[in-house]
Amino acid sequence: MKVVEVHYSNAHTPLQSPKRWLILAVISSALFLIVIDMTVLYTALPTLTHALNANASQKLWIVNAYALVVSGLLLGTGTLGDRLGHRKLFISGLMVFGVASLCAAFSPSPASLIAARALLAVGAAMMMPATLSIIRLTFLDERERAMAIGIWAAVASGGAAFGPVLGGLLLEHFWWGSVFLINVPIVIAALMAAVTLIPPSTGNPARHWDLLGSLQAMVGLIGLAYAIKELGKREPSLEAAAAAFVLGVAFMVLFVRRQRTRQDPMLDFRIFRTPGFTPAVAAALVAAATLIGMELVFSQWLQLVQGMSPLQAGLFILPLPLASFVAGPIAGHLLPRIGSQRLLSGALLMSGLGMGAYALLYEAAVLAQVAALSVLGAGIGATMTAASSTIMHSAPPERAGMAASVEEVSYELGGAIGVTVMGSLLSAIYTASMAVMPLGSIPAIARDSLDEALIVAEKMAGQEGDGLVALAKEAFDRGFLAVLAASAALLIVTAVVVGMKAKRPNRDGYVGAAYQPPTAKTRG
C-alpha cells in the first residue's frame, strides 16, 4: 500500500523547487558535525589522554557521554520538534552545539571535557530529529525522498567513519582541542543558511513534550552502559555493576509504562507493529554498534600497536567512509526496486563479510586490507539508507519527529552500545592476556590498558621496558581480533534474521502499510 501524503497547515510546507536540495545540503552539513563528534576523538584519544592525564574510566566516559546523552534525549526532542516546529529546534540546536564546541576545545580537565561533551549532546539531540523530519516534509516524491534519505544516511555512516580521518589531519598540525574548535565556523555558516533557506514552521501546539520520560530514558541507558563497562574492568565491582543494572532496568521500565499510559506519548509503541519497522530499527542499531565500536578499537590499534601517527591512522581508515558515502545514494536509488528488507539483509551480510574479511587480512598486504574496509563501508552505508528510509516511510508527516527520533535513537544507542561493549570486550581480553604474562614487579596499572602500559614502560630502562611494550601490544592485538570477530558475527546473524522476516515489497519497495496513529478506539 502506498503511503498517502498528508498536507497539514501547521507544518513545514514541502517544496517543489530546486531549493529543497539546498535545504538538504544545509541539514547534511549539520548532521556531518553531529556524527563526526561521535568518532573524531578516536585518533585524538591517545594524545588527549596524555594532555589531560585521563585514566581509563575517564577516557571511556569522554567518548561515551556524548552518545548516551544524545540517545536519552532524542525521543523527547523529536516530539518537541513536532510541537514547536523542526526549523526552530534545528536552529536552536546549532547554537547550543556551537557554544559547547568552544567549551570542549578549551577544557582544562577530563571532568570539564566530559561536561562539555554532554552539552554537545544536548545540541545534537535538538538537531538530529529535525534533519530527517525536514527531509520527510520537504520531499514529496517517493523516489526523490529515497534519494535524499540515501544522501542523509551516507553522511551519517560516512561521517562517523570519517571522524578519525579528520581527527588525524587536525592533530598533525594543531592541539587536540582543534577537533572541537573546527565545529564553530561550520556552525556559523549552517546557521546563516538555515535562517535563509528553511521555511518557517509553526508545528502542532497540541502535541505535548514529555521531559520526564526523556530523562527516564537517559538515566536508564546510562545505568545499563555503566554496568557493562564495570564488568569489563580488570577488577570489577560486582556490587556497583548490579546496582547500575538494576537502576537502568528500573528506569527503562518506568519509561515504557509511562509511554503506554499517556494519551499523547512521545514514543507510541504501536509503530513497532508496522511490518518492516522493527527489522529496520534493529539493522540501524547493529550497523552503528559494529561500525563505531570497531572504529574505536581500530584507530587505537593503528596508533598504539602499528605505530602510526594520528594522520596516518586517519588516512588508513579512509576507504571505509568513502565506500559508505558512495553506497548510500546508490542504495537509495535501488531501494524502491529491491525492497527494504531484502536490501537490509543483503547490506548487513555485505558488512559482516567485509568485517570478517578484515579479521582475516588485518596483517596482510595494504591492498587486501583496503578491499575489506571498502566492502565493510559499502555495506554499512547501504544498511543505514535502507533502515532510515523504511523507518521514515512508516509514519505520516505530522509524526515525522517521532519516527526520526526512533531512527536516530537506534543509531546513537547503537553507537553507545558499540563503544561500551566493544571497548569492554577489548579491555577484558587485554586484561586477561596480561594477567597470564610474566610481568614480575610491573605496576598493576599496566594491566588496565595499553595506554597506561606504554606510560609505565617510558619510565623503565632498557630491555624491561621493551619487554613490557611487546607484551602489552600482543595483548591488545588479541583484543582487537576479538572485536572484529564479534562484530562480524553480529552483522551476519542480524542479516540472516532480517532476511528470514522479509516479505514481498509493495510497488514503492516498502513492506506493508504505513503506521497509523492511535485513536480513542484503537489505543491500548
Q: What is the 3-state secondary structure (H, E, C) of 370-408?
A: HHHHHHHHHHHHHHHHHHHHHHHHCCCHHHHHHHHHHHH
| pLDDT confidence bin for 484, thresholds 50/70/90 | very high
The answer to which of 9-13, 173-177, 265-269 has the lowest mean pLDDT is 9-13
What's residue 448's pLDDT? 66
Question: Domain 19-210+272-500 is in which class?
Answer: mainly alpha
The per-residue pLDDT for 17 is 56
Say if CB 220 and CB 251 are below 8 A apart.
Answer: yes
492/79: higher pLDDT? 492
How far is the CA of 328 from the CAs of 160, 278, 320, 458, in angstroms? Answer: 13, 21, 12, 45
User: What's the average model confidence in pLDDT over 468-480?
Assistant: 81
What percentage of the chain carries pLDDT values higher than 90? 11
Confidence of residue 488 (pLDDT cuts 50, 70, 90): very high
User: What does the DSSP 8-state code read for residue 417?
Assistant: H
* Interatomic CA distance for residues 399 and 412, integer angstroms: 20
Q: Do 93 and 123 contact (CB within 8 A), yes or no?
A: yes
- The average pLDDT across 428-444 equals 69
By mean pLDDT, which of 137-141, 143-147, 452-456, 472-476 is the weakest? 452-456
Residues 60 and 31 sit within 8 Å (Cβ to Cβ):
no
Torsion over CA: 488, 491, 494, 500 (sign): negative
* Per-residue model confidence (pLDDT) at position 8: 32
Is residue 435 within 8 A of residue 312, CB to CB? The reply is no
Where residue 442 falls among pLDDT bands split at 50, 70, 90?
A: low
Provide mean pLDDT across the span 248-271: 83
pLDDT tier, 360 (very low <50, low <70, confident <90, very high otherwise): very high
| Domain definitions of the chain by residue range | 19-210+272-500
Tens digit of each residue's pLDDT (9 = 90 or more) over 69-118? 777 777 777 777 767 777 888 888 889 998 999 998 888 888 888 899 88
On average, the pLDDT of the chain sits at 77
- The pLDDT score that the predictor gives to residue 226 is 73
- Range with the poorest average pLDDT among 347-351, 382-386, 450-454: 450-454
SS3 512: coil
Q: What pLDDT sits at residue 124?
A: 87
Q: Where does the pLDDT of residue 510 fall: very low under 50, low under 70, confident under 90, or very high at 90 and above?
A: very low
Q: Of the spans 47-61, 68-82, 209-223, 470-484, which averages the highest pLDDT? A: 470-484
Rounded Cα–Cα distance for residues 129 and 400 (Å): 8
- Contact in structure between 483 and 424 (CB atoms under 8 Å): no
pLDDT band at 371 (very low <50, low <70, confident <90, very high): very high
Asked if residue 524 has pLDDT above 80, the reply is no
How many C-alpha atoms does 53 have within 13 Å on its Cβ side? 2
Distance CA 146, CA 392 (A): 10
Which pLDDT belongs to residue 355?
Answer: 93
Question: Does residue 522 carry a pLDDT above 60?
Answer: no
Q: What does the alpha-carbon distance between residue 406 and residue 404 come to, in Å, rounded to a whole number?
A: 5
Residue 429 has pLDDT above 70, yes or no: yes
> Given pLDDT bands bounded at 50, 70 and 90, which one contains residue 396?
low
Predicted pLDDT of residue 436: 65
Q: Which tops the pLDDT comparison, 377 or 272?
A: 377
Average pLDDT for 213-230: 77
Residue 43 and residue 168 in contact, taking contact as beta carbons nearer than 8 Å: yes
Helices (H), 302-365: 310-317, 319-338, 340-361
Question: Does residue 490 have a pLDDT over 60?
Answer: yes
Q: Give the per-residue pLDDT at 523.
A: 44
More confident residue, 68 or 422: 422
Q: Which residues of 177-192 are buried (b: 16+ CB within 10 A; e: fewer)?
A: bbbbbbbeebbeebbe
Would you say residue 231 has pLDDT above 70?
A: no
Question: What pLDDT sits at residue 348?
Answer: 93
pLDDT at 446: 64
